[in-house]
Chain A
Amino acid sequence: MSSTDANFDPALHKHGDTHGHGSRRSYLIGFALSSVLTAIPFWLVMSDVLGDPGATSIAVIVFAVLQIVVHTICFLHVNTQAEGGWTLVAYVFTGVILLITILGSLWIMYHLNTNMMPGMMTGQASTTP
Chain B
Amino acid sequence: MATIVESDTAPQDSTFYLVEQDDHDHADASPTALGFWIYLMSDALIFAALFATFGVLSTSYAGGPVPRELFDLPLVALNTAILLVSSITYGFAMLAMEEGAVRRTQAWLLVTGLLGASFVGVELYEFSELIAEGATPQRSGFLSGFFTLVGTHGLHVTVGIIWILVMVVQLGQRGLVLENKRRLLCLSMFWHFLDVVWIGVFTFVYLLGMLR
| Interface positions of A (Cβ within 8 A of B) | 1-4, 16-24, 27-28, 30-31, 34-35, 38, 41-42, 45-46, 53, 56-57, 60-61, 63-64, 67-68, 71-72, 75-76, 83, 86-87, 90-91, 93-94, 97-98, 101-102, 104-106, 109
Contacts and interface: CB of A to CB of B under 8 A. Distances in A.
Contact of B44 (A3, A94, A105): A94
Contacts of B163: none
Give the 3 A-B CB pairs with smallest separation, nearest first.
A27-B91, A105-B52, A64-B203
Contact of B203 (A4, A19, A41, A106): A41
B57 to A, nearest CB: 9
Contact of A67 (B189, B199, B210): B199
Contact of A87 (B37, B44, B196, B200): B37
Contacts of B84: 31, 34-35, 38
Contacts of B195: 71, 75
B34 A64 contact: no
Given A20-B185, A90-B41, 6 more contacts: A20-B33, A22-B91, A38-B199, A94-B45, A101-B52, A105-B53
Contacts of B19: 2-3
B73 A102 contact: no
A57 B208 contact: yes
Contacts of A3: 19, 23
Contacts of A67: 199
Contact of B23 (A4, A38, A101): A4
19 contacts: A19-B28, A24-B95, A31-B84, A38-B199, A42-B80, A42-B207, A53-B212, A57-B208, A60-B211, A63-B203, A67-B199, A68-B199, A71-B195, A71-B199, A76-B193, A90-B37, A94-B44, A105-B55, A105-B56
B131 interface: no
Given A20-B185, A64-B200, A83-B37, A101 B77 contact: no
B183 interface: no
A34 B195 CA distance: 11
Contacts of B202: 38
Contacts of A27: 88, 91-92, 95
Contacts of A4: 20, 23, 29
A33 B28 CA distance: 27
A27 B53 CA distance: 33
Contacts of A87: 34, 37
B203 A76 contact: no
A93 B42 CA distance: 11
Contacts of B81: 38
